Amino acid sequence: MNLVETQSEASIPVRPLRADALAAWLELQPETVQRWIASTGFKADAGTTCLVPGGDGAAREVLLGMGDASGAMWDFADLPRALPAHAFHMEGELSTEQANNAALGWALGTYRFDHLKKKDDKSRAVLAWPSACDRRRVESAARATFLVRDLINAPASDMGPADLADSARATAESHGGTVQIIVGDELLQQGFPAIHAVGRAASPERAPRLVDVTWGEPSNPKVTLVGKGVCFDSGGLDLKSPAHMKLMKKDMGGGAHVLGVARMIMDAKLPIRLRVLVPAVENSVSDSALRPLDVVPTRKGTTIEIGNTDAEGRVILADALTEASSDTPELLIDMATLTGAARIALGAELPALFSNDDETAEALLAHGERESDPLWRMPLFKPYRKFIDGKVADLTNSADSPLGGSITAALFLQEFVGPDISWVHIDVMAWNTRSRPGRPEGGEAMGMRAVYALIEERFS
């Protein structure tokens, strides 16, 4: 994260400046500094920087533009890349919120998934922890984000169902949690036929499994997280094209997200009984693969007609959500890279939120705004429910019409959620298609901090 404990004597200050405060600051500066700022064209636009030289020609301070805001997190995120290899510290009186934004923005700006490349020994800029910062909170959010990104960025050859399960085990056990993992044909014996059906075509070492993490006192309020864990999605017999298959190592992004949320919850020791369920499979092609129009039984007893083998995520989530509902949690949240339709509607950078609970949905949207982690609510439009009726089974996993695809997928999942449970479904891209400050191209945690903030507020 390139954040250091103490400020060195040679540390260079970074001064956040709103655009409307730049003129007043300039009036107090020597004429040479005024000319320098004018020559650089620095206007204090959000996220822009200007190195101000001293009389000896060395950098005296760094101006960081805040635009018309007081310091959004992403305004700080380009600093590790933009600044030279030196020690820096934040200048001025920062509130805890501003200090947290500065530290977390900086931390996320240092992320690189480069351990598979030749070693890079290049020195990098470091920042002293801002004094008002809630260090534990920032470190937890940064490390959870790095966990999510690392899991998604890992090649599918290194991140199969067993590897995802191992990561869940390591995360849980490092915080005193317990893990149960049901593997292969044991899924049939213990009543998870849909998870088994999707994953059975994979090789034995990549056999399907259900990861079940529990943490916290049993008497505490129950919160359950469910994450889609398709570690690679070929599309099955309805094979994807090369262009659509290329990024399918990210199809376990929902599983990665709920592990990130879980880590933040356990770091903070929130007073809840946490359960995390991740059905981990590989959607492969072999002689045992699901065929179009096969009918799959589920843990609930509802049967699913396979209209498309490439709509496998909702099938494995059916079993996981049924199990999640079995102990009636006070809050149930699932996260999944579920539909291209959500991306058509909202683009790659804005996750779609569905919920049967207006109060929870509104609170989650508000937390998304505060955490610079936005979501957008989509409707559970009941008239579309008829589109997922099966012809020879109770449901189909693929409606005949592609229109409203994210809505019909959410309505499908709702069939497996207990009727009196407050439930949220978040359809995420889990991938940055372009690089932005603090958000390099590749795997990304989207909605994770918002979900954590909701749980923290509701159950602390």
Per-residue pLDDT of the chain (460 residues; tens, 9 = 90+): 899 988 888 899 999 999 999 999 999 999 999 999 999 999 999 999 999 998 787 889 999 999 998 778 999 999 999 999 999 999 988 899 999 999 999 999 999 998 888 877 777 999 999 999 999 999 999 999 999 999 999 999 999 999 999 999 999 999 999 999 999 999 999 999 999 999 999 999 999 999 999 999 999 999 999 999 999 999 999 999 999 999 999 999 999 999 999 999 999 999 999 999 999 999 999 999 999 999 999 999 999 999 999 999 999 999 999 999 999 999 999 999 999 999 999 999 999 999 999 999 999 999 999 999 999 999 999 999 999 999 999 999 999 998 999 999 999 999 999 999 999 999 999 999 999 999 999 999 999 999 999 999 999 8
Residue 194: C-alpha distances to residues 159, 318, 453 (Å):
22, 7, 32
What pLDDT was estimated at residue 344? 97
Q: Which amino acid appears at position 197 of this protein?
A: A
Q: What is the pLDDT of residues 347-380, one digit of tens each?
A: 999 999 999 999 999 999 999 999 999 999 999 9
For 389, which DSSP code? B
Residues 123 and 165 in one domain: no
Could you list the residue range(s) of the whole structural domain that residue 364 is in? 137-459
> To 5 degrees, how large is the angle CA 174–CA 258–CA 455?
95
Of the candidates 104, 133, 162, which is a domain's last residue?
133
Q: Which amino acid appears at position 257 of this protein?
A: H
Burial class (CB in 10 A: 0-12, 13-18, 19+), 294: middle
Residues 129 and 236 in one domain: no
User: How many other CB atoms sit within 10 Å of the CB of residue 215?
Assistant: 23
Q: For the chain, give the longest Cα–Cα distance.
A: 81
Residues 91 and 196 in one domain: no
Q: What's the pTM value of the predicted model, to 2 decimals?
A: 0.96
Of the candidates 113, 133, 153, which is a domain's last residue?
133
Residues 210 and 346 in one domain: yes
Q: What is the pLDDT of residues 123-164, one digit of tens each?
A: 799 999 999 999 999 999 999 999 999 999 999 999 999 999
What pLDDT was estimated at residue 55? 78
> Residue 283: enclosing H or E segment and its boundaries?
strand 273-283
Residues 69 and 206 in one domain: no
Residues 315 and 430 in one domain: yes
Residues 46 and 105 in one domain: yes
Closest to 71 in 3D by CA, of 147, 1, 133: 133
d(CA 44, CA 21): 9
C-alpha dihedral, 307 to 313 to 314 to 320, nearest 10°: 140
Compute φ and ψ for 145, nearest 5 degrees. Answer: -65, -45
Q: Which two tokens stand for residue 194?
A: 């849909």
d(CA 139, CA 440): 19
User: How many other CB atoms sit within 10 Å of the CB of residue 71?
Assistant: 22
Contact 407, 381 (CB under 8 A): yes
What pLDDT was estimated at residue 334? 98
CATH number of the domain enclosing 297 = 3.40.630.10
Alpha helices in 337-404 (DSSP H): 340-346, 358-370
Residues 7 and 80 in one domain: yes
Residues 36 and 111 in one domain: yes
Asked whether the CA dihedral 217, 359, 367, 254 is positive or negative, the reply is positive
Of the candidates 133, 155, 181, which is a domain's last residue?
133
> To 5 degrees, how large is the angle CA 253–CA 369–CA 274?
50
Q: Which residues are tagged catalytic? A: 240, 314
What is the total count of domains within the chain?
2
CATH number of the domain enclosing 101 = 3.40.220.10
Residues 35 and 47 in one domain: yes
d(CA 211, CA 214): 10
Residue 295 makes CB contacts below 8 A (sequence gap 6+) with 303, 304, 305, 306, 390, 392, 393
Residues 404 and 329 in one domain: yes
Residues 128 and 154 in one domain: no
3-state secondary structure of 321: helix
